[in-house]
Chain A
Amino acid sequence: MLLRRLGRWLRGLFCFSLPVKVSDSENLIRGIYYEVHLDDVGSLKWQAYDPTPGTDEVSVMRSARLSPNACKRKAKSIERAPRKLYRGLAALSSGAIKTAGMAVVDSRHVDCGHADIKTGVVTQRRLPNVPRDPREVARVKKVAEKLIELSQYYPDSRIESAKWEGEGLLAPLRKDI
């Protein structure tokens, strides 16, 4: 417990240069994996923005802190080949997410540069091998489809490379929401 607190405090200390408030102009990056997040033709599925069970939070990385190379490194570090395969990164605009009625909060206690999109649809903790409440799935799917609309997916054409060699990770231009 004490060690965990100390760890959080240290992470916060090393993260002091990053503002806690996520500005509207900031881009948020999410790692995309096959086959939970992508269909067979390589398009994002709504499951790409399914919140962590028991929360309304979708984990993302802050471009204000993490370069595209760092985002790729982090995304690849949680790959679980051959079952969860890193395939690329998706970019979203913090401002567009807020305009759509969701919130973006810094979560440096997880990692410096980590943030969460709070969708407002809190999901229940899931029981192993039991289907989710269909009402919850319908609500989550609707919100996730909105996030897909707001995001730009960049497939990684050089997956094996340690660096991000694709184009700049820019969120799509803001549309009228």
Chain B
Amino acid sequence: MIVPPYLVDRPTLELVETMPAQPPIGMLWINTVRGLVPTVAPVRSFRNEMVTKSNRFANLGPGWLGPNSCEIPRTTSARILELAVSLEQIEGLPNPEMTPNIHGTISLEWESARGEAYLEYGTNEISGFVRFENEPIEHIEAVATLPVSFFTLVRDRLFPISQAHSVTTEGLGPYSYAFATTRALA
């Protein structure tokens, strides 16, 4: 793997600031905050939107929405980057709707006719809820992390495979499943 020279021997916080606003297609910039080791890993471009947005949110700064709005810490943004990497394993799960919140957290939402999933990432905690069709709402309260199986469940319940099969996937390459699902929902 070739690491660009400007990423070598720089602390992570600088890494985020020196990143281009839009990562190159086909690359996901991973910010490993804990180890302060900047790394670049080639992954699919499917989650680039999540990466771009979380980087933008990290640069909002204090007072971005009004006098009492908190900035979004880079650790929170880094957690979303880590999630984006994890979600690469889950084909068929569309990118979430991402919203920065006035109190310095980031909301991620998936919604379909079959229900909804809402997650809010803080510095150390994740809270949220899932509501699947014909089932009572389930709350997620102040957990440190969520297993990949949670997101697989969201994919299976909100964006089942049958929807993807209803549209053509020909010519869309290796990401055909994911794009087909997104198209089916559009």
Residue positions of A touching B, CB distance < 8 A: 35-36, 39, 45, 47, 53, 78, 80, 83-84, 126-135, 137-138, 141
Contact = CB atoms under 8 A, between A and B. Distances in A.
Interface residues of B, number: 36
Contacts of B104: 128-129
Interface in B15-49: none
A141 B64 CA distance: 22
A157 B21 CA distance: 26
B65 interface: yes
B140 A134 contact: yes
Contact of B102 (A45, A53, A135): A53
A141 B118 contact: yes
Given A131-B120, A131-B125, A137-B129, A80 B65 contact: yes
Interface string B66-103: 10101011001000000000000000000001011111
Contacts of B10: none
Contacts of B60: 83
A137 to B, nearest CB: 6
Contact of B120 (A83, A132, A135): A132
Given A84-B66, A126-B103, A134-B139, 8 more contacts: A36-B99, A36-B100, A47-B99, A84-B64, A130-B125, A132-B105, A137-B118, A141-B118
A36 B65 contact: yes
Contacts of A131: 105, 120-122, 125-128, 142
Contacts of B118: 134, 137-138, 141
Contact of A130 (B61, B97, B105, B129): B105
11 contacts: A53-B68, A78-B66, A80-B64, A126-B103, A127-B103, A129-B76, A131-B125, A132-B103, A134-B128, A134-B139, A134-B141
Closest 4 CB pairs of A and B: A131-B120, A131-B127, A126-B103, A83-B64
A126 B101 CA distance: 10
B103 A53 contact: yes
A84 B125 contact: no
Nearest to B99: A47
Contacts of A129: 70, 72-73, 76, 103-105, 122-123
B137 interface: yes
A137 B139 CA distance: 10
A53 B137 CA distance: 23
A53 B66 CA distance: 12
Contacts of B128: 131, 134, 137
Contacts of A78: 66
B105 A83 contact: no
A52 B131 CA distance: 25
B127 A80 contact: no
